[in-house]
Each structure stands twice: as C-alpha cells, then as structure tokens.
Amino acid sequence: MSGFLVEALDQLSRADGVRGALLVSADDGLVVAEAAMEGIEAAPVAALAASLAGRLLKVAETAGQAPPALIHLEATEGGLFIAVGEGGLLLVAITTPDANAGEVRLALLDGAGRLS
C-alpha cells in the first residue's frame, strides 16, 4: 500500500477514541485499506459509509451548497466520521462515545488532505 495512505490511516487510528479507521472507495463502497478495526467488520461499514456520503453529497448539490468536507454521524454508542478526499476516496473513522471529536476531525481532515 502507498506510504501516504498508511500514514493517513495510522495518524487517524492513533487519535483518542478512534476504534477503527478505513479508506473507502466512494463509488464502490469497498474497503481500500483499514487500520485498527478490532471487533468491527470493515466491509459493511465501508459500504454504508459510502452510501451515506454519496447521499449527503447529492443533498448538498441539490441544495446548491458546496460539498461537505466532513460528515459526522453521532450515535448512542459511538460515532462515525467521514472525510471526503480527492480521487474518489473517503477516510472513515469509527469512534467511541467519549472520543475527542475535535482531535478526530483534525486527524481526518489532515488525512484527507494527504490523499489529494
């Protein structure tokens, strides 16, 4: 795997409260690379995260807004962060409920920047 992809995933997976990090093909919803996905099935997360990101991008487009750089889905038992990178890639983080959202956002945006 390319060094910059490994770096982006490693940095993200080291952030506080990140249970897993994924690089996902936005068009296919397939896993490109993954890190620290203990107890989490990567393929379903990738497929559903890509679907969610695709729909939200369409919503933004329909509303005449700029595409979102980052998507944050907050759930009772954790969170899902998706950063939209260049080249049809998504950087995805699955977090615990007490994760430091600010740190995760920074790591995601930095990682997504490395993908371009």
Partner 1 sequence: MRAIEPWVEDPLRTFLQESASRVVLLMTSAGQVVAQHGFTRSMDVMSAAALGAGIVASSEEIGRIVGDAGLGAQAHQGSRQGIVLSPFMTPVGRWIALVVYGPETSLGLVQLFLGRMVTDLRVAAPVEQVTRPVLAEDFERDLNASLRSLFGR
Residue 92 or 115: the one with the smaller Cβ distance to partner 1 is 92
CA distances from 43 to 3, 61, 96, 102, 113 (A): 22, 27, 19, 26, 23
**By CB under 8 A, residue 73 contacts partner 1:** no
Judge contact between 108 and 12, C-beta under 8 A.
Answer: yes
Q: 10, 51, 73, 75: which one contacts partner 1 (CB under 8 A)?
A: 51
CA 99 to chain centre: 15
**By CB under 8 A, residue 98 contacts partner 1:** no
Q: How far is the CB of 29 from partner 1 (least distance, A)?
A: 3
Residue 54 or 68: the one with the smaller Cβ distance to partner 1 is 54
